[in-house]
Amino acid sequence: MDHSFVLHIPDTELESEPLARDQIVSGTPEVTGKVVWESEDGRQLRGIWQITPGVVTDTEADELFVVISGSATIEVEGGPTLKVGPGDMAVLREGDRTTWTVHETLRKAYAINL
């Protein structure tokens, strides 16, 4: 989108984003998402992301996000354990290796810098 916009995050339809099998530690988590804005050079993304309960691993980008609904515990290897829920803002650093334990389906709005 090249213009200013607004969307209601809880009602926005998301598309399937399959997880790599080696990211799933336990359960059957499913990921959906939608990029709502991308910079011309593709290095900045804004969007919505959702994951159902389970445990997954990831290597993070430089990201700021706000949890809209649900809850999770995010263990940062060699760093803090973050407990996030509705209304919480979190920052992950590029290269952080994380383990997400998703307790309730979590939906977040994010801003990523690549």
Q: What is the pLDDT of residues 73-113, one digit of tens each?
A: 999 999 999 999 999 999 999 999 999 999 999 999 999 99
Neighbour-count burial of 107, counting CB atoms closer than 10 A to its CB (0-12 exposed, 13-18 middle, 19+ buried): buried
* Cα(49)–Cα(72) distance, integer angstroms: 13
* Cα(60)–Cα(1) distance, integer angstroms: 25
pLDDT at 1: 58
How confident is residue 3, by pLDDT bands cut at 50, 70 and 90?
A: confident
**SS3 state at 55:** strand
Q: Do the beta carbons of residue 84 and residue 34 sit within 8 Å?
A: no
pLDDT for residue 71 is more than 80: yes
Q: Do the beta carbons of residue 49 and residue 107 sit within 8 Å?
A: yes
Q: Note the pTM of the prediction, 2 decimals.
A: 0.95
Q: Which of 65, 75, 73, 66 is nearest to 96 (CA)?
A: 75
